[in-house]
Amino acid sequence: MATLAELAVARAGLDEATIDHLLRLTASWSLLADLAFSDLVLMAPVTDGAGDGELVVLGQVRPNNRATVITADLVGTAHRADDWPLVRRALAEAERVTGYASPEVIGEPTLVWAIPVRVSGAVVAALVRLQGPMRGPSSLYEQAYLSIFVRLCDMVAASTFPFREDDVAGPGLPRVGDGIILLDGAGRVDFATPNAVNALHRVGVSASVEGRTLPELGLHLRALERARAFAMPTLEELDRGIDVAIVFHCVPLLEAERPTAVMVLVRDVSDLRRLNRVVLSKEAAVREVHHRVKNNLQTISSLLRLQARRSVERETRTALLEAERRVRSIAVVHEVLSREPGEDVSFDEIVRSLVLLVEDTVLALHPVEIVVSGELGVLATDVATPLAVVLAELLTNAVEHAFVDFSVEDPEPVGVVTLRLARDAEHAVAEVRDNGVGVGADFSLDAPTSLGLSIVRDLVRTQLRGQIDVTAMGPESGGGTLVRVEVPVVARR
């Protein structure tokens, strides 16, 4: 389905500034739909030459507090202008037009409002209100809602709504159903919905609110002062201890670009803030767990390193240092998790630490350059941990065994080990390539010559459910060895 911007360009020939205005309008118009208890449709004249005399629907929104009267999705559909005479009049006369009509999309007499949408002095579209049958006489609150809707319609026609600075009643912001307080030009409360009154009670306002200003009630909102002073919506959250949090979204109602009233959308977010604190507390606990695991692994690593230094036999010392390096590889994952707790981890940050680990342990004896390209992005921790051990083992193995004839005193260029990373929606691929001596013709992963390769093979095939291939590269390809590891992005259990 085409977007509003695409339809506005292709069918209505609107420019970028106009499209930006319409996008801001549709970002805030759920407020209008709820205040009017009606479906709203945004229509513009077709100018592409293929639909002269037609109107294209650029947007559609349904109310949250009343049943919809339009079950079909109209966005992108074209309609004969003659079938929408009130819309045609509003576009031609640049004034709001109301009346009863029988739009084909509804099929029965319906109260229709057509409000011209003006941008830079020109009427570019029409905001169409389609009201369904009322559920008996309207209440005082419904009448108050409709009075605000009328004022906002005048602002739409005058190009002062939507606001340039901020959306209204958008995602995460208070909505009509959360609570409304309407203040007149003197700042006195015209009316407040029951939900708004309940929210005021929670911040300590227990007196009757109608006819009084918020400061008289003991409620001082800087957002209200800014909304009046700058004629722009302003948000403020008011806390009472750790158990109460109320959000006030002050929206000025303008006439001739001057605020003559303020609509305050009120939302009690106490439960949300309490939930946020619980989540933050749990995140802190998880972070602390990973931090302690990392510290414990580093302690084990230090003990292995100390034991290796005290060992007389070379084979024993080598085995202990290899074990110490593998423990540090796992600690690298927990170090990242201690900063970003969760079930997923940024593996590219782990790769950088692994390269530093290999450089710290073996490059002092082997003058080899390690080059990394590509990235794997975010991986699940049950994939990242064994994969980190695999890559550390492969890089170390390449540096230690592929360049046995290299010397630190050799003035010639050193060897190169490359790590290439890539992934798609289902698999992650890591290729470790060196330009060293290469593996022998009789090499087989089923009968590895070292413990490290046995660990790599078992981790990839058993724990990661992946594939590993070792290929000796011929002289025509630069020689050396290529190890390719491919594992599912999400580990299968």
Asked whether 438 and 481 are in contact (CB, 8 A), the reply is yes
* Coil, strand or helix at 274: helix
Cα 266-268-273 angle, rounded to 5 deg: 135
432-466 exposure pattern, b = at least 16 Cβ within 10 A, e = fewer: bbbbbbbbeeeeebeebeeebbebbbebbeebbeb
Q: What is the dihedral of CA 70, 71, 77, 82, to 10 degrees?
A: -40
pLDDT tens-digit readout, 74-83: 999 999 998 9
Instruction: Give residue 253's pLDDT.
Output: 95
Mean predicted lDDT score pLDDT of the chain = 85
Q: What is the pLDDT of residues 400-409, one digit of tens each?
A: 777 766 544 5
Q: Residue 235: which of 168, 148, 162, 163 has the closest Cα?
A: 168
Closest listed residue to residue 201, CA positions, set 179, 185, 226, 228: 179
307, with CB counted inside 10 A (0-12, 13-18, 19+), is middle
Closest CA to 60 of 33, 89, 90: 33
- Whole-number Å distance between alpha carbons of 235 and 415: 60
Q: What Å distances lie between residue 100 and 32, 36, 39, 86, 288, CA to CA?
A: 20, 16, 15, 9, 65
Specify the range with the lowest mean pLDDT, choosing from 45-54, 67-76, 148-157, 421-430: 45-54
Reply yes or no on whether the pLDDT at 1 is more than 70: no
What is d(CA 353, CA 347) in angstroms, rounded to the nearest whole number? 10
User: Is the Cβ–Cβ distance between 14 and 44 less than 8 Å?
Assistant: yes
Encoded tokens for 237: 């959250």
8 Å CB contact between 54 and 79: yes
Mean local confidence (pLDDT), 472-489: 84
**pLDDT level of residue 492 (50, 70, 90 thresholds):** very low
- Whether residue 259 is preceded by a cis peptide bond, meaning omega within 30 degrees of 0, is no
pLDDT-derived band at 125, boundaries 50, 70, 90: very high
Query: Is the predicted pLDDT of residue 491 greater than 60, yes or no?
Result: no
Asked if 34 contacts 26 with a C-beta cutoff of 8 angstroms, the reply is: no
Output 304 or 52, whichever has higher pLDDT. 304
List, as one string, the DSSP characters of 111-136.
EEEEEEEEETTEEEEEEEEEE---SS
Does residue 168 contact residue 149 with C-beta atoms inside 8 Å? no
Reduced to 3 states (helix: H, G, I; strand: E, B; else coil), residue 311 is coil
Q: Which residues contact 143 (CB under 8 A, 6 or more apart)?
A: none
∠ CA 213-219-223 to the nearest 5 degrees? 90
The secondary structure element, H or E, covering residue 225 is helix 222-230
- The phi, psi pair for 48, rounded to 5°, reads -85, 0
Half-sphere exposure in the Cβ direction for 435 (13 Å, CA): 13
Structure confidence by residue, pLDDT tens digits, 417-451: 899 999 988 899 999 998 887 777 777 787 766 77
Q: What percent of the chain has pLDDT over 90?
A: 43
Residue 414 contacts residue 365 (beta carbons within 8 Å): no
User: Hey, what are 416's tokens?
Assistant: 């190169």
Ramachandran angles phi, psi of 67, nearest 5°: -65, 145
328-382 per-position pLDDT tens digit: 777 777 777 776 666 788 888 888 888 888 877 766 666 778 889 999 988 888 8
